[in-house]
A and B are shown apart, each in its own frame.
Chain A
């Protein structure tokens, strides 16, 4: 069975601070995909990134970066120079093997204040 743990329930930062959201996953499969989704206050789920288990390169997209480390089963998400618009709930998720069921973590609520 697979599991995703987001130990940080809520994080509050002041604008322009950097913030890292932690994600730890568990799976016995060697082939899997990891995701991050953003859920802003409006409620929709917005896809941010998909990473497969064979690609450990870090990814950077503007102020967002992701650090995938198979050795620690982690897929952490960093926002550089946070902005108020980054305030949202962020979910890490996992699909394993040939299955298509997405398993979510419980989410991390990020509050960015001025």
Chain B
């Protein structure tokens, strides 16, 4: 199906574990983004990518790693999960200036 898909939808992990959130888009949009949503903060940008093999930090990148070897995929890895990374994570894609299409989100709980 066309669109942007995030997996998993829900994830519970333990402190210190590595976890990867997946994001796949079928539009061949140049830009992809990862946001986290926390109460009182709205959505904050973690990392973004302008094209394959080009990534850059957003507002809150610490503790996260991204890669983009293919245009359609943009995984987000928490190298050593902490409780402060409990959040809802949204992936998005866009063409420049045209606004975003968001995935359905991944609710991550770190215990």
Interface residue SS majority, chain B? strand
Cβ–Cβ < 8 Å partners of B92 in chain A: 102
- Residue tally, chain A, CB below 8 Å to B: 19
Cβ–Cβ < 8 Å partners of B99 in chain A: 33, 35, 47, 50, 95, 102
B33 with A106: CB separation less than 8 A: no
Give residues 81-106 of A contacting B (CB, 8 Å): 91, 95, 98, 100-106
CB<8 Å pairs between A and B, sample of 26: A6-B42, A33-B97, A33-B99, A35-B99, A43-B104, A44-B104, A45-B102, A45-B105, A47-B99, A47-B100, A47-B101, A95-B97, A95-B99, A100-B31, A100-B94, A100-B97, A101-B33, A101-B45, A101-B48, A102-B45, A102-B99, A102-B100, A104-B35, A105-B42, A106-B40, A107-B42
CA gap between A44 and B104 in the complex, in Å: 5
Query: Using an 8 Å CB-CB cutoff, how does the interface string of B62-94 with A read, 1 for contact, 0 for none?
Result: 000000000000000000000000001010101
Cβ–Cβ < 8 Å partners of B98 in chain A: 50
